[in-house]
Structure 1
Amino acid sequence: MRKDEPSDHECLDGPLTTRRDFVKRAGAAGVALAGLGGMSPLASAANARRYARNQRSKVKGAIVFRSWGVGPERKAIENRIKYFNTKYPNVTVKLQNLQKNGYEEFPALLAQIASGKAPDVLRVLNFQPTQLVAQGNALLPLDEFIRSDTSFNQADFTKAAWKGAKVGGKVYAIPSSGEPYCLYYNKAMFKKAGLPDALKTYKAGKLTGPVYASWVDRLQSRKLAKFGTGFEAWNYDVFIFMGGGEVLTPNHKVVIDRPRSASALQYMADFVNKKHAPSPNVIGGTAYQLFANQRLATFISGSWWAFYLPDTIKNKFPWSACGVPRVHGHEGVKLEIDAISISKQTKNPEAAWAFVKTVTDHKGLEIWGKIATPARKSVLTSKEFLSNPYVEPLLDMLDVAEFTPFTTKGSAVDTAAISGLSKMWDGKQSAAQATKLAKKKIEKALA
């Protein structure tokens, strides 16, 4: 590259715009728009739109967006970028698409940040903003942008997803999706077994732990599938929430060994002990594949599968989804948060914020809603999103979804918990024994 050529982080037509300049410009825009008040409504609206376009055209330069995904997910990412460029045609977005997912590639992100080569905008999951802020002060706080940008509708985000975007009371990420967990079931197998429809049973408030266990037993005893249910060990906190337990308190005290948590885990472990479920010590997506191949009659996993199962199963068999069983009278699941942050190393904060707010606005999340559960309430209730017949039941779970309080060592906590509980899934320890070991391992990870 020649010395006179702009780098990826430089504006294409002049000096870089600082965050303070951007905020001043946003304020000036508000004054200018206020001056249109004396015009007729139609003329005023037209002028306002024209003014907004002119202001957007002033945002220039290049940004790097770090994300991941293949197939429909990659397509949705590319479509969000295209949508952004319809509004900001003078900003070039370079997609840094990862080979693996955001968890597996997280160490590589830390290395990028440490070397001073962080992307401008990055996709983050669950605890990652907390870790990036607390350990390396790596993310740009977004509160100032939000306060100064009247086009940004914060109130439209779901409460739980927005809560997960904060670190220490400040906003460091804008949610794209909040994925609850649910129960998927083979409707044909249920019919052959003489069982009631799971969704109707759930809606009636009758899908309890014992009811679900009896269904699993019946489905398997009739030899309709190799296993009556399936799940994956890395979702341990989902099962704990199903029974009203906790992994950590809000002040990060480890309570995974309390009776509610242990009891909920034992409920799930009993399926494995009775050979009603295969070993859950498998990689993510295994239960989904077994269900698609009709080796599982049901499985518990994230709501994202509702967007992929239609293409995988096609017309092989009828299926549906519903809320998870109420274990010990409690209803709850985990919420997986997928969000977008801005690196503190960005040299083009104006373009970075323009990108983040645009791909998470109503249209941006309508695009994302084709492969994920969008974090905006207006999209969740839109005809576009609800045109997928399998997503409406998942909305029930959003009302009861939660997440383990994020810590600076979220990955280490998960690893410790999964390791501590492994003998329980192998039938070598009870849940009461395994959760005591998991507690010690988690406390060590947090120390």
Structure 2
Amino acid sequence: MTSNTPQPTTFKPSGPLTGKISVPGDKSISHRALIFSALAIGKSRITGLLEGEDVLATADALRAMGARIEKKNDVWTVHGVGVGGLMQPKNALAMGNSGTSTRLLMGLIASQGISATFIGDASLSKRPMGRVIEPLSQMGADIRARETSDHKACLPLTVRGICPAVPIEYRLPIASAQVKSAILLAGLNTPGITRIVEPVLTRDHSETMLSGFGAEITVETDAKGCRVISLTGEAELKPQKIKVPGDPSSAAFLVVAALIVPGSDIIIENIGINPTRAGLFEVLQNMGGDIRFGKKRTVGGEPVADIRVKHSHLTGINVPADIAPSMIDEFPILFVAAAMASGETTTHGLHELRVKESDRLSQMAKGLGLLGVQVTEGDDGLLIEGSGGKTLAGRQAKPVIETALDHRIAMSFAVAGLVTKSGLSIDDIRPVETSFPGFDDLITKLASS
């Protein structure tokens, strides 16, 4: 974050949100575009890259390991060093708040003949890394992490890569695109075939992009219905031209804002609608949300559309646990939609939200409670009794919401502030810069259109 001083920000009730807008590039694709381009031999060009702090942390780390990455106008150029060509970084790699940068780059280094120390901010340093350490250690990497009082492996940590690494077949014990991608990145420089068995489908950007870069990768379904991803190592990646679509996780906040603010009607252009990322839109439509997809097309192997959203009267539902992997980052803003719906919304299978940038279940329950919403917090989800579209009003005239340095908590309550009686304040807007630069200005623009 650009400053160490908290920046409290107030969000007030709004008139209808109207207009045609776009959102920053997809964060997941942006990370991967930089990493795979750095591993290609030659020059790749990227447009639409998200220039948030998380993605810039990935770019800085790749530069520290020898890749030349430049920006001119709106085009990013990456001069790749080849799959086995990374250099030893001179200093620790500063990851800021980015768990994605950390986990993917751990995988990248695991099969290289170099070592690197990862450091992060206070929030990232609390996030467990054991789920990535386990498979990478099986491949031969030596990973030493700080152990917390409750025996979690956290930053700072050091990865000592091994070359050649050992190919493995790994069954994901939990649905995690980051763990899957870390293993694939390690497998790129590992002789033989690395296999990942995925019982539950997670976002598939890594598989799609690796195929586009020329890696030998296959995806099949076994007799038990699991996805089996096989990657042939010692790959030679070819440089690409990549156009990054708008991030559906960022669009989610504006979609919910338009659904719950009376009279709203907006169009969000050029949004990625990959089925492994579109769970929130399906859930909101099942709740009665007027969400329509126009101008569907394919860009760089990814499905893209313009999304039109109109204010809607939402009804609470039971959200099936098996949809969680396709919308795991969007549950905080779904909870805001549920708070404005009629009836109960129940969610389950969300243990993962306990170990994100914050304990998102606890933070959302606490904040919604301050707004007068009836919330019951369970071990793996929330039960929310909606207001039926009525303005949210807690006991305090203008409550202050604790974000716990979590960008999605901050943006979720910024949206909630639009449907409060007197507004609310969030304790710090700075974390939003990690994924959605200019978010608060965009909200203001929509409200004044």
If the length of structure 1 is used for normalisation, what is the TM-score?
A: 0.24
More helix by share: 1
User: Which structure carries more strand by proportion?
Assistant: 2
Pick 1 or 2: higher relative contact order, CA cutoff 8 A, min separation 6. Answer: 1
